[in-house]
């Protein structure tokens, strides 16, 4: 039992990243007999910091140009582009049935908002997309789809679809694929659903809502 408790204690220490105590007389790394404290030697006059230049002796990184977007954020390298007004041909397949229509997505000063309308012009739902594309909120859902479990599945599938940056496995039992014509498809293997979006046209200068 004592050995078991000792092993658990050691595992806890390793998991927490706490360094083990050093034996008596052990000298810290980087120390010498003349420098027991391990204080680094002063750099000669005129030595520049790592990454520094004559014009930038402190090595301070240059500021990014206005409009530069970090990787993984809205406007980054996503399979589905956003900005202004975008239109996509939309297809939803569910257990042998298929629904087609148009998905219109507008990005402006107030954020990103989209709508799904089927081929007969019937409005299915609206949605908003967060700036990091990690959260979709459904709005104005048609009565046939307005069930909490349907809303949850659809919103999570749309989150994965718009946040996809490459083909392959996504969160949960979902797979993202890209067709030769640029169609981006999300397959929800658990619920046997397929969502496909293919860009029709876009107007990046239109930022109206």
Name, in order, each residue with C-beta under 8 angstroms of 55's C-beta and a sequence gap of 6 or more.
Answer: none
- Read off the pLDDT of each residue in 181-185 and give the average, rounded to a whole number: 96
- Percent of the chain scoring above 90 in pLDDT: 53
Q: How far is CA 69 from CA 33, 60, 65, 128, 136, in A?
A: 51, 20, 9, 20, 21
Domains present along the chain, CATH in parentheses? 84-199 (2.30.31)
Instruction: Tell the residue number behind the tokens 């790592």, with chain if given.
Output: 50
Which one has a higher pLDDT value, 38 or 178? 178
The answer to whether 124 and 111 are in contact (CB under 8 A) is: no
Q: What is the pLDDT of residues 134-152, one digit of tens each?
A: 999 999 999 988 999 999 9
Q: What share of the chain is helix, strand, coil (3-state, %, to 5)?
A: 15, 30, 50
If pLDDT is split at 50, 70 and 90, which confidence band does 207 have? very low
- Read off the pLDDT of each residue in 47-74 and give the average, rounded to a whole number: 52
The radius of gyration of the chain from alpha carbons, rounded to an integer in Å, stands at: 28
Structural element, H or E, at residue 9? helix 2-16
CB atoms within 10 A of CB 45: 5
The token pair that represents 10 in the structure block: 């050691």
Q: What is the pLDDT of residues 85-137, one digit of tens each?
A: 999 999 999 988 999 999 999 999 889 999 999 999 999 999 999 999 999 99
The answer, yes or no, to whether residue 205 has pLDDT greater than 90, is no
């Amino acid at each position: 039992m004592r050995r078991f408790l000792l092993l658990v204690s050691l595992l806890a220490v390793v998991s927490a990243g706490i360094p083990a105590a050093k034996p008596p007389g052990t000298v810290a790394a980087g120390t010498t007999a003349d420098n027991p404290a391990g204080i680094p030697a002063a750099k000669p006059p005129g030595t520049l910091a790592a990454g520094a230049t004559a014009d930038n002796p402190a090595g301070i990184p240059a500021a990014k140009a206005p409009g530069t977007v970090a990787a993984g954020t809205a406007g980054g390298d996503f399979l589905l582009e956003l900005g202004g007004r975008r239109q996509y041909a939309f297809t939803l397949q569910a257990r042998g049935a298929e629904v087609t229509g148009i998905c219109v997505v507008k990005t402006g000063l107030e954020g990103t908002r989209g709508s799904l309308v089927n081929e007969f012009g019937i409005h299915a739902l609206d949605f908003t997309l967060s700036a990091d594309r990690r959260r979709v909120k459904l709005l104005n859902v048609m009565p046939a789809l307005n069930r909490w479990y349907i809303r949850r599945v659809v919103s999570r599938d749309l989150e994965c679809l718009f946040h996809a940056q490459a083909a392959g496995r996504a969160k949960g039992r979902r797979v993202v694929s890209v067709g030769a014509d640029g169609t981006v498809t999300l397959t929800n293997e658990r619920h046997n659903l397929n969502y496909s979006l293919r860009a029709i046209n876009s107007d990046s200068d239109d930022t109206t809502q």
